[in-house]
Structure 1
Amino acid sequence: MKANLTALLALGTAATLSVAGAQAKISAQSIIVNPTQPDLQVSVRVSKDTSGTQNPAYRVGEAITVSATVNRDAYVYLFNVNPDGSVDQILPNRLSGENFVKANTTKSFPAAGDNFTYSVEGPIGQNKVLALASLTPLNLDQISSFKTAQDQFATVSTQGGQAGLAQALSIVVNPLPQNSWVSDTAFYTVAAQNPVSTGSLFVGTNVNNATVTLNGQRLGGANVTYNNLRAGTYPVRVQAPGFSDYTTTVAIRAGGTTNLNVEFAQPLTAVPAPVNTGSPVLDFIGNLLGAIAGTTLQDPARSAYDQKVRELQTDGYALQQTRTTGSGYSGTLVRGSSTVTLNVDRGANRTVRVNVNETTTYRY
């Protein structure tokens, strides 16, 4: 929590002594626990979680308050285990008086009215606050000590990080009656001061002169990584001269790079504008089949798809995505709360099937 307050030293032989027969047990999380469930109870909390069941986040530099409540008169010792395994002794200290707490009262650090604040300085990651309450004072000389008369906090010296702290504390409480001590733990996370909120997008294509448009704003050419994009989900359009536009939706992740690779198909073959015959049936067939003027015959399914897209766009729909299927083309268009799925498939006997499904969401 306050990593700069402690100058860690090796614990020496105390932490390596055998704890065979010790009353305390050490949990899988390196927390010292009294297995007898004594009458004495202690509850430790951090200021953002009065329930003690959550894992709140604090930013570097943010103020924090640590509180402990006991049901009997007891001496309370508070330790903060940092993500790197180093340990800070919060209580007792020389800033806020002794660590004796009356029954059914709460000791807070800092207390209301104190002319100082206690701030989170890191390192980044998961922190644990261990509270140890005892009916009698504990001798922590082999675990922590005030090195000079000017030190406001005791220096905690543990070999092996939090596991060493738990082992050393188990040695301290070993001579005590089983019903005379108890522990509790609270958790919180330290996050960076300025969390990453932007990401990057790389768009690659197999053709030259392609351009990229994200959420209606033109970014520039393809085969480029665009940085500092706000995290979120956006429509993207990739355009290349002589090819059908490619549209899709991408998710920009904070702190990451989203890759979008567009493989353009065969270039479009220029087809002369169809002659208006005056017959709706002949004009429709002409639009489907295209015109043969020394060029390759246009794909009827693509012609039908493009024509239907234009009709829907005339009705106010915006094309979101186009993809090629095994038998034709499929697309998604949106207008307000309505979504249209368009499927055009080549059928038997030189037929083309156009299927339009509309879904509308209503709020009630």
Structure 2
Amino acid sequence: MKKSLAAIVVLASVAGWAQSGPSPLGLVPTPVPGLSASIWTEKPQYAVGETARIHFSISQAAYVYIFDIEPTGRVRLIFPNPYSPNAYRPAGTHALPDQPTYQFRVAPPMGTETLQLVACTRPLSMPLGSYSDPYPLLGPDPESGRAAVLGLVPEPGCGCCVTAWTTFQIVSASSGSGFWPCPPCWGLGPCPPCSGFGFVGSGAGWFLDATGTWRFFVGDCPSGPGWCWYLGPDGRWNFKIQLCFGNCP
């Protein structure tokens, strides 16, 4: 297996598939007759806090996997995910997010972000993540992340996968913008308007007030009746329903 991985890395240094330049994750599969793929974002540049929408196209039905490569080089699997677990997609053009329960919210660091798609004629065994961590890191550092992907994708000679990639720039947010963490929801009531890449410390949360308006906060849950999600000191999400009787604020 080590010999096969080395062969993939060497090929990646001299050729790419579907785009010019080397394949970001070192994947150079043998072309599959009749199967081609492309991927792109709606904008070439996003500010921290914005939500991104990803588009991809496949020429025939296939199992699709999308990896996000951060400016630091760390690799995450962002599709499929717990909110959209079905990797098998029909031929045509598709857009993500494809469900109202999640979003791709852009977070630091600034720099060039890369999205690499792998489309295969057979399913791959990928770590799906969890509702509390929907976009799992594949390894603690860039090198181990790339090695993990190479270990999950079939050898180049299988003739069963194609790949495509695109990049976009992450820039600093303008005044008043920001990015937010997103709770797992667990299917309890309505979910906040988020589910992005952002992470913050304990005390941050979302509050749905009696008017149906979501508010992001840091500190204690706002007073009054509503639904409150908040991060505890252990980094876990907590949920409570606040009721009010009599004179309510």
TM-score (norm. length: structure 2)? 0.57
Identify the match of residue 68 of structure 2 among 80, 83, 87: 80
Which among 169, 172, 196 is matched to residue 189 of structure 1? 169
> Which position in structure 2 is the counterpart of 1:172?
152
Aligned residue for 1:187, secondary structure, equals strand
Tell me the equivalent position of 1:151.
132
Match of 1:139 in 2: 125
1:94 aligned partner: 82
- Which secondary structure state, in structure 1, belongs to the residue aligned with residue 107 of structure 2? coil
Q: Percent identity?
A: 22
The answer (yes or no) to whether the contact 2:29–2:157 under 8 Å persists in 1 is no
* Match status 1:107 vs 2:102: no
**Equivalent residue for 2:105?**
119
Q: Which runs of 5+ in 2 are unaligned?
A: 14-21, 176-249
Greater relative CO, 1 or 2 (CA 8 Å, sep 6+): 2
The alpha carbon displacement at 1:23 in A equals: 6.0
Counterpart code for 1:153: P
- Number of residue pairs the alignment of both structures matches: 165
Distance 1:139 1:124, change over 3 A: same
Which 4+ stretches in 1 moved above 4 angstroms?
20-24
Please list every run of 5 or more consecutive structure 1 residues that lacks an aligned counterpart in the other structure: 1-13, 49-55, 196-364
Query: Match of 1:168, SS?
Result: helix
Greater share of strand residues, 1 or 2? Answer: 1
CA distance in 2, matches of 1:186, 1:44: 6
Match of 1:38 among 12, 24, 32: 32
Change in Cα spacing, 1:160 to 1:19, as seen in structure 2 (3 Å) is farther
Secondary structure at the aligned position of 1:93 is classed as: coil
Q: Distance in 1 between matches of 2:63 and 2:31?
A: 18
Cα distance 1:158–1:152, how it changes in 2: closer, same or farther (>3 A)? closer
1:78-125 deviation line (CA, Å, top 9, x unaligned): 01100112222210112134121112x2232112x6254321112111
Q: Which has the larger radius of gyration?
A: 1
Question: How much has 1:169 moved relative to structure 2?
Answer: 2.7
Q: Using a 3 Å threshold, how does the CA distance of structure 1 residues 136 and 191 change in structure 2: closer, same or farther?
A: same
* Cα displacement string for residues 208-246 of structure 1 (whole angstroms, at most 9, x for unaligned residues): xxxxxxxxxxxxxxxxxxxxxxxxxxxxxxxxxxxxxxx
Say if 1:159 and 1:131 are closer, same or farther in 2 by CA, change over 3 A. same
Structure 1 distance, partners of 2:78, 2:25, is 17
Q: Offset of 1:136 from its aligned partner?
A: 0.5
Which secondary structure state, in structure 1, belongs to the residue aligned with residue 104 of structure 2?
Answer: coil
Q: Distance in 2 between matches of 1:88 and 1:172?
A: 13
Say whether 1:19 aligns with 2:4. Answer: yes
2:105 is paired with a residue whose SS is coil
CA distance 1:115–1:170, change in 2 (3 Å): closer
5 Å-filtered alignment, 1:270-285, equals none
What is the TM-score of this pair, normalised by structure 1?
0.40
Q: CA–CA distance in 2 between the matches of 1:36 and 1:130?
A: 16
8 Å contact kept, 1:95–1:152 = no
The alignment yields a C-alpha RMSD, in angstroms, of 2.8
Residue 154 and residue 18 in structure 1: after superposition, are their counterparts in 2 closer, same or farther (change >3 A)? farther
Is this contact kept in 2: 1:93–1:152, CA < 8 A?
A: no
Q: What is the CA-CA distance between 1:158 and the residue it aligns to?
A: 2.0
Q: 1: distance between equivalents of 2:100 and 2:170?
A: 24
CA distance 1:102–1:121, change in 2 (3 Å): same
CA distance in 2, matches of 1:58, 1:94: 25
Q: Per-residue deviation at 1:47?
A: 1.5
Preserved contact between residue 23 and residue 174 of structure 1 (Cα < 8 Å): no
In 2, the alpha carbon distance for the partners of 1:36 and 1:175 equals: 9
